[in-house]
Structure 1
Amino acid sequence: MDDVSELERQARELLRPEVYDYYAGGSGGEVTLRANAEAWRQVRFLPRVLRDVSAVRTSVRLAAPLNLELRTPVAVAPTAYHRLAHPDGEAATAAGAARAGALFVLSSRSSRRLEDVATAVTDAAGSWWFQVYVMRERGLTAGLVRRAAAAGAQALVLTADTPVVGRRALVPGGGVISERDYEDNLGPLEDLSRARIVPASLADIGWLGEISGGLPVVVKGVLRADDAAACLAAGAAAVIVSNHGGRQLDQALPTALAFPAVQAAAPGRPVLVDGGVRSPENVLAGLALGAPLVFVGRPVLWALACGGSDGVRAWLEGLTEGLAHVMALAGASSVAALPGLGTVAGPGVARAG
């Protein structure tokens, strides 16, 4: 389904109102939530002409230490508690992503045991990373990381933009997240504060690599050039330009506008991006600016709610097919030919320095 608005409308009809609000909402006045999608429209393309685009390839390869080969540069961002959308939860999402050839990033706030999700990915010959929060009881974090490594995660994604949870509007009725949602992965917790997110530090990049047995660490939530440089100097394999989908600091810079400066601070290193990506043109914009992977979040949840694993696969495949079409229009027969074909126009673009 190409029309994300229609997909969201259908999902909203199927989901409990408080669940839809939990997934769809942002922080504060939702300025960043709205601006993320709008900012991709500021990217302008510089298409090549008279190029052979009779066979467009959407496959992408990321070199060591990430060592990824994927059929699509569209990747699934980490989002929490998929069982709120579908009984099979993250296992269904992961299987659908894997069958579509997309990287899946599993949230540490998963509502399915990570081993079950890993099996779903492996059975579909897919690739997955594991997203990490540093929790108040660091042993809980370490335990999850070690289990993820043992289950076959290919990288860790450290979320860096959540020193505290964003100031989000209260969901009417409350009670969306239950203790059971924690227990599937963390075991019974008499004191839920043990799993409370606490501020991470640059030192945690090395710590996560060490306790995981050497998995590469990707830092998610970077909007500044100096932060990107610091993360890479501390051992990060890559960074993801992200503002948490507009769910953390409201009025933070939209990711499309932050991306150019962050990329300039990381020459030769993978700089990935998410935030408000809804269409083939949005994906093309991220790739044309230089991101090797572009992540999608909420639309995958809408696809899961509407069609389970098959719905996720169909939506991701449709997005990739649409990407191939607009790549041809841009005069690019491969993802590798896209960097440099886009520029961000208008005010608000972050500059390196």
Structure 2
Amino acid sequence: MTLDSLASAVAGALTVDDFAGPARARMDPGVWDFLAGGAGQERTLRANVEAFERTWLRPRVLTGAGLPVTETRILGRTWAAPMGVAPMAYHTLAAPEGEVATARATGPAGVPLVVSTFAGRTFEDIAAVASPCWLQVYCFRDRKTTRRLIERAESAGFEALVLTVDAPRLGRRLRDLRNDFRLPAGIAPANLTGDGFASPTGHALAEFDPSLDWSVVAWLRSVSSLPLLLKGILTARDALGALDAGVDGIVVSNHGGRQLDGAPATLEALPEVVAAVAGACPVLVDGGVRRGADILAALALGADAAFLGRPVLHALAAGEERGVARLLRIVTDELVDAMALTGIGSPREAGPDLVHGGAFRRTPVSRSEPEGE
């Protein structure tokens, strides 16, 4: 596609899906598979989207709600909408400016960008153009490396840490194995140096700490005073463990279907985690979000906000900063539509009576009773 046709495609986009075709046209097939693929037979990857497809909104009429307000407040900061951009490595695979271009869109949109440890641009460059930014943290065997990353991000103005807890090792991603995928020349983890971070995909396979336990929360507290969220929680048991460890928030996530193939869809896991947390901290969710109505469904099932993942990279590849800005505008407009047409005036008004089917279930969880297998 020519640059003119790509610009036209971005300007004419009306849904999140409209960015995928132009993005794929600009990418090497191996890069597309690296970004789009999941682990194993990709059951969990598909389930994330299908869970939203099976969940229906139940309109309420004559509520007098007026024009919906999308603002929400999480961890002391007001967001323009209950959504953000999930951590994803190497935005530079989608566009030369990578995370900097993404940040130029999220900043004016008033929503957070969670920056991957394996970002393709430096923390300082990203934070210079947008706020709020959060740092997604992998805890490496060499804790000094992790500490340096956190200190740099905090000095740059990042506002929270998001520890990924579902990656003692990387999932078996068959598309990458079949393609013998290697990062293209010039793409590298901009905030990491040394031979240990020079694997073909840029991920520090031998450097991840597979023996992490709940004590890592206390260690991170000793390193930084930033709010700490755990990303990768899918069960009530682990949600309660996170609360006992003293975290500030939870992200219900299965790593976009890229770790354990066969893990539940995040929307399906969400009600169990919400019931366990019982309002003690914010609960966020990612995985499969493709429209504003999906965000409203997640709010109805107890999430405080939902994060967009792969569609952001599609928009970035299709139109760089303008593409991401257009994507965020589309999803926000869809959210306003869904709220207005279901009689919801603000995010806090969304409750379980708003949805049926699919992921709708809430089972109270007691700390005194073990979670069923």
**Same fold, TM exceeding 0.5?**
yes
Alignment of 1:52-71 (within 5 A): 52-62=64-74, 66-71=75-80
Q: Deviations over 1:263-318 (max 9, x none)?
A: 00001121111110001111111011121110010000000001111211111011
Counterpart check, 1:144 vs 2:149: yes
Identity of aligned residues (%): 42
Counterpart check, 1:157 vs 2:166: no
Alignment of 1:218-233 (within 5 A): 218-233=229-244
Counterpart check, 1:333 vs 2:345: yes
Indicate the SS of the match to 1:163: coil
> For residues 315 and 358 of structure 2, what CA distance do their matches in structure 1 show?
33
> 1:26 aligned to 35, 38, 52, which one?
38
Q: Please provide the CA RMSD for this pair.
A: 2.0
> For residues 204 and 190 of structure 1, what CA distance do their matches in structure 2 show?
21
> For residues 53 and 347 of structure 1, what CA distance do their matches in structure 2 show?
26
> For residues 261 and 122 of structure 2, what CA distance do their matches in structure 1 show?
32
From the superposition, tell whether residues 247 and 178 of structure 1 become closer, same or farther in structure 2 (CA, over 3 Å). Answer: farther
> For residues 41 and 273 of structure 2, what CA distance do their matches in structure 1 show?
26
1:235 alignment counterpart: 246
From the superposition, tell whether residues 225 and 144 of structure 1 become closer, same or farther in structure 2 (CA, over 3 Å). Answer: same
> 1:83 aligned to 80, 89, 92, which one?
92
1:305 alignment counterpart: 317
Work out whether residues 68 and 344 of structure 2, in 8 Å CA contact, stay in contact via their aligned partners in 1: yes
Unaligned runs of at least 5 residues, structure 2: 1-12, 199-203, 366-370
Counterpart check, 1:104 vs 2:110: no
1:292 alignment counterpart: 304
1:256 alignment counterpart: 267
Q: Deviations over 1:66-97 (max 9, x none)?
A: 21201111110000001111000111111211
1:128 alignment counterpart: 133
> For residues 236 and 202 of structure 1, what CA distance do their matches in structure 2 show?
11
Indicate the SS of the match to 1:158: strand
- Structure 1 window deviating more from structure 2 (261-270 vs 341-350): it is 341-350
Q: Deviations over 1:234-286 (max 9, x none)?
A: 01111111100100000101011111111000011211111100011111110
- Structure 1 window deviating more from structure 2 (305-314 vs 293-302): it is 305-314
> 1:270 aligned to 266, 282, 287, which one?
282
> For residues 146 and 23 of structure 1, what CA distance do their matches in structure 2 show?
28
> For residues 347 and 321 of structure 1, what CA distance do their matches in structure 2 show?
24
In the TM superposition, residue 137 of structure 1 has moved relative to its aligned partner by 1.7
Work out whether residues 74 and 283 of structure 1, in 8 Å CA contact, stay in contact via their aligned partners in 2: yes
> For residues 345 and 325 of structure 1, what CA distance do their matches in structure 2 show?
21
- Structure 1 window deviating more from structure 2 (245-254 vs 266-275): it is 266-275
Work out whether residues 111 and 132 of structure 2, in 8 Å CA contact, stay in contact via their aligned partners in 1: yes
TM-score scaled to structure 1, two decimals? 0.92
In the TM superposition, residue 37 of structure 1 has moved relative to its aligned partner by 0.3
> For residues 55 and 242 of structure 1, what CA distance do their matches in structure 2 show?
31
Work out whether residues 257 and 344 of structure 1, in 8 Å CA contact, stay in contact via their aligned partners in 2: no
Work out whether residues 263 and 271 of structure 1, in 8 Å CA contact, stay in contact via their aligned partners in 2: yes
Indicate the SS of the match to 2:84: strand
> For residues 134 and 30 of structure 1, what CA distance do their matches in structure 2 show?
26
In the TM superposition, residue 48 of structure 1 has moved relative to its aligned partner by 2.3
Indicate the SS of the match to 2:220: helix
From the superposition, tell whether residues 334 and 346 of structure 1 become closer, same or farther in structure 2 (CA, over 3 Å). Answer: closer
Unaligned runs of at least 5 residues, structure 1: none
Q: Deviations over 1:17-56 (max 9, x none)?
A: 1111100000000000001100112323333221224321
